[in-house]
A and B are shown apart, each in its own frame.
Chain A
Amino acid sequence: MPDEHEPEQELELTSPLVPLFVITNGRALPPDHQYEHTALVMAAEGASAMAGALSPEARQVLDLITEGFLSVAEVAGHTHLPVGIVRILLAQLEEDSLILVRRPVPRAERVDRELVSAVLEGLKNRFGA
Chain B
Amino acid sequence: MIRDALVWCLVAVAAIAVVAVVALAARNRALGAKKQQSEGELRHQLHISDQQLQLARAELMRFTTDLDRTLQEAKEAAEENTKAVLKGAASFLQSLAAEQTTLLDDVQRKYGNHAVLSDLLEVNHANAQMARKAQGIAVMCGAPLGRRKRAASVYDVVRSAQGQIRNFHRVSIMQQTGLALKASAVAPVALAVAELLDNAASFSQHDAPIEITFQRVQNNLCIVIDDAGVSMNDEDRQRATELLSGNIVPRLSQLGNQPKFGFPVIGLIARQYGFRVDVTGVSRYGGVRAVVLLPEELWTVEETPPAYEAPVSNILRTEGRPQNGSRTTHGLPKRGARQAPIASVPDPESTPPAPRSAEEPSRFSGRSLGAFQRGTLSGRNLDATSLEGSEDA
Interface residues of A (CB under 8 A from B): 1-2, 4-5, 8-26, 28-29, 32, 37, 40, 42, 44-45, 53, 56, 60, 63-71, 73-85, 87, 100
Contact = CB atoms under 8 A, between A and B. Distances in A.
A77 B149 CA distance: 25
B223 to A, nearest CB: 15
Interface string B8-47: 0000000000000000000000000000000000000000
Contacts of A10: 144-147
A64 B109 CA distance: 20
B117 A29 contact: yes
Interface stretch (B61-69, B256-264, B284-292, B376-384): B376-384
B387 A15 contact: no
Contacts of A74: 345, 375-376, 379-380
Nearest to B114: A84
A19 B125 CA distance: 8
B376 A20 contact: no
Interface in B108-125: 108-109, 111-115, 117-118, 121-122, 124-125
Given A10-B146, A10-B147, A82-B389, A73 B156 contact: no
Interface in B300-326: 306-308, 310-312, 315, 317, 319, 321-322, 324
Contacts of B128: 19
Interface stretch (B161-169, B203-211, B354-362): B161-169
Interface string B233-252: 00000000000000000000
A77 B113 contact: no
B253 interface: no
Contact of B341 (A13, A20, A69): A69
B94 A11 contact: yes
Interface residues of B, number: 82
A44 B102 CA distance: 36
Given A1-B272, A65-B343, A73 B176 contact: no
Contacts of A78: 310-311, 345, 378-379, 382
B310 A79 contact: yes
A60 B124 contact: no
A87 B94 CA distance: 32
Given A73-B388, A83-B389, 14 more contacts: A8-B143, A11-B145, A17-B160, A19-B128, A21-B121, A23-B159, A26-B121, A67-B321, A70-B343, A74-B379, A77-B388, A80-B308, A82-B113, A82-B387
B105 A20 contact: yes
B321 A77 contact: no
Contacts of B310: 60, 78-79
B147 A12 contact: yes
A21 B112 contact: no
A23 B169 CA distance: 11
18 contacts: A2-B272, A11-B91, A11-B98, A12-B147, A14-B98, A17-B160, A17-B190, A28-B118, A56-B176, A70-B375, A73-B388, A74-B345, A76-B112, A77-B388, A80-B308, A83-B387, A84-B111, A84-B112
B388 A76 contact: yes
Nearest to B176: A56
A44 B307 CA distance: 28
B343 A64 contact: yes
